[in-house]
Amino acid sequence: METIESRSIFSPATGYIRRGGFDFTCNPYLGCTFGCKYCYAKFLPQNKIPRELWGKWFSAKRNAVELARKEGKKIAGKAIYMSSVTDPYQPAEREMLLTRGILREMQPHQPRVVIQTRGTLVTRDLDLLTRFQNLRVNITLGSDSEAVRELIEPKSPPYEKRWLTSHQLKAAGIKVGICITPVLPLDNPDQFAERIIAFGATVVVTQGFHDAGGAFGADTSLDALKVAKELAWNQEKYRKFVEYLRKYIRVYEGEKGFFPP
Ligand code: SF4
C-alpha cells in the first residue's frame, strides 16, 4: 500500500458514466484489493503496476477528504459516481476512512450520488448515507454460486453477505440497485431471478459476458471468459435469464443502467 497526493477528488465524468448523466466521478483509491478477474480498471493507463498484480495493491489518496472539503461547492446538486476505477468500500477503507470522510464533506452540498460497491462495509456509513436526499447504493451481485465467486472474485465478500447488506440498506430507507454486471455462471437462474424480483430493488442492471477483441472497457477478461466456458455459461443462458426477469421487473442492460438518482 502507498499513499499519494491527489490534485482533485471530483473528476469530470467520461465515457459511459458521462453518457449516463453523471457530472463527476470520485475515486478515493487507485487499485482495488477485491481483484475481480473481469475488472476493466486494471487496464487503465494510470495504473503503473503490472496487470498480473491487479488485486494485490492499492494507493490511497491521503488528501482525499481535504480535497472534498475544498471542492465541495462545485458538486452542489451535481451527479457523482463513486467509484469508477476502484471500490470505495474495499477492505482498506475500514482503517483509512477516506470514503466516509468524503461523504461527510459532500453531504452539506447535497449532490446526487451513486455508490457502486461489493463491499459490505458500506453499512458502517448508514448514519451519513441517510442524510442524502438523492443517493443510491448499487450492490454488485454477479451470481448465486459461491464456487463461481471463488473462481472469479475470490477476495470480494460472499454473496449472502452482500444480500444481507442490500436488505440492511433497504430497511434503512436507502435506495438500492442490484447490478448483475456481469452475470456470472449461475447454478439456478430461475431461483436467482426470483430472489432479485422479490427484493424489490430501485434499479436492476444486467450485463452479459462479451468479447470485444480486447477493446478497453468493453471486454470481459480472458480469465473470466475461460471460467464461463468451463461452466458452459453462454449468451443463450444469459438471454434466458434476462427475459425471465423482464416478465416481472424492469431490467436495464449494460451502460443504460448507470444513471444518477
Ligand atoms: S470491486 Fe470493482 S474495481 Fe475492484 S476489482 Fe472488482 S470490478 Fe474492479
> How does pLDDT run across 50-76, given as a tens digit for each residue?
888 889 889 999 999 999 999 999 999
Give distance in angstroms: CA of 247 to centre of ligand 1.
Answer: 30
Ligand 1, closest atom to CA 32?
A: 4
**Are 203 and 174 spatial neighbours (Cβ–Cβ below 8 Å)?**
no
Which tens digit of pLDDT belongs to each residue from 202-239? 999 999 876 555 444 445 567 777 888 888 999 999 99
Which tens digit of pLDDT belongs to each residue from 104-157? 999 999 999 999 999 999 999 999 999 999 999 999 999 999 999 999 999 999
Q: Which residue has the higher pLDDT, 249 or 37?
A: 249
Lining residues, ligand 1, CB within 6 Å = 32, 34-36, 39, 41, 86-87, 118
Residue 42's pLDDT is 79
Give distance in angstroms: CA of 40 to centre of ligand 1.
Answer: 8
Give distance in angstroms: CA of 88 to centre of ligand 1.
Answer: 10
pLDDT mean over 85-109: 98
Give distance in angstroms: CA of 183 to centre of ligand 1.
Answer: 15
Ligand 1, closest atom to CA 42?
A: 8
Residue nearest to atom 6 of ligand 1 (CA): 36
Residue nearest to atom 7 of ligand 1 (CA): 39
Residue nearest to atom 8 of ligand 1 (CA): 39
- Sheet strands (E) in 118-232: 135-140, 175-180, 203-206
Q: What is the DSSP letter of 44?
A: -
Question: What does each C-alpha distance from 75 to 9, 62, 70, 214 come to in angstroms?
Answer: 11, 20, 11, 34
Query: Going by DSSP bridges, is the β-strand pair 58-61/10-12 parallel, antiparallel, or unpaired?
Result: unpaired
Residue 217's pLDDT is 46
**Are 99 and 93 spatial neighbours (Cβ–Cβ below 8 Å)?**
yes
Ligand 1, closest atom to CA 156?
A: 1
> Minimal CA–CA distance to 99: which of 21, 27, 16?
27
Ligand 1, closest atom to CA 117?
A: 1
Asked if pLDDT for residue 46 goes beyond 80, the answer is no
d(Cα 68, Cα 78) in Å, to the nearest integer? Answer: 14
DSSP symbols for 211-242: --TT-TTTPPPHHHHHHHHHTT--HHHHHHHH
Q: What is the dotted CATH code of the domain comprising 2-257? A: 3.80.30.30
Give distance in angstroms: CA of 221 to centre of ligand 1.
Answer: 13
Domain boundaries, the chain: 2-257
Residue type for position 144 = D
Residue type for position 118 = R
Residue 212's pLDDT is 54
Give distance in angstroms: CA of 126 to centre of ligand 1.
Answer: 22
Residue 214's pLDDT is 47
**Are 199 and 248 spatial neighbours (Cβ–Cβ below 8 Å)?**
no
Which tens digit of pLDDT belongs to each residue from 156-206? 999 999 999 999 999 999 999 999 999 999 999 999 999 999 999 999 999
pTM value > 0.85? yes
**Are 175 and 261 spatial neighbours (Cβ–Cβ below 8 Å)?**
yes
d(Cα 17, Cα 20) in Å, to the nearest integer? Answer: 5
Give distance in angstroms: CA of 192 to centre of ligand 1.
Answer: 22
Q: Does residue 45 sit in helix, strand or coil? A: coil
Residue 99's pLDDT is 98
> Minimal CA–CA distance to 241: which of 200, 203, 196?
196
Which tens digit of pLDDT belongs to each residue from 1-45? 899 999 999 999 999 999 999 999 999 999 999 999 888 887 777
Q: Does residue 121 sit in helix, strand or coil? A: helix
